[in-house]
Structure 1
Amino acid sequence: MKWVLLVIAGLLEMGWAVGLKYSQGFTKLVPSIFTVMGMIASFYFLSLALRSLPLGTAYAIWTGIGAIGTVALGIILFKEPADTIRLIFIGFILIGIIGLKMSSDG
């Protein structure tokens, strides 16, 4: 269950990161509200996962999920570049996440 909570936290991080773009610097009310709600929910689920996961592992995986997902959503939603070198480095983040999960106890 702790890993499910961490994945939820990471997915919510993706949501609030994209929400920052839509809120245009917190100048648009509705996207700003959803962004702040996403931040709170993401931190909440991260805090639940941290009850039983090591801090360094959980934080790195949380930010990794957020980073990979945000890059993917940036490519899809905002037509950001998807050049090879960028995708290679995203792959390195993914390898790091998998390695941390495999080396974690539990």
Structure 2
Amino acid sequence: MSKLRVHDMAGEFGISADEVIALLRQMDVPVRSHLSLLTDDQVSRIRARWEREKRVRAEKAQPAPAAAPRRRRTAATEAAPAPEVEAAAPAAPPAVRRRRAADV
């Protein structure tokens, strides 16, 4: 018969001790702090409750997949050719004007 403390349960669940304390108080389990000892019965009850809470949270977090809106095909969209993009010739670099000795 090993007793666990509230902060041990919080570490097991991956949440803060304050959240475990709030959960225990909802279950009418008297706790004072994160160092309060829990009996085996209380530990099994809190584990079962946490599993239910985790399942409910996971269901709420995953929204139902929404169907993508479908577009209706019309005769105009089927017959219209795709616009072609003309390949632009690479632009020549700008002409560099150099001074000549006679200009200086």
Scaled by the length of structure 1, the TM-score of the pair is 0.28
Scaled by the length of structure 2, the TM-score of the pair is 0.29
- Greater helix share, structure number: 1
Give the structure, 1 or 2, with the largest relative contact order (CA under 8 Å, sep 6 or more). 1
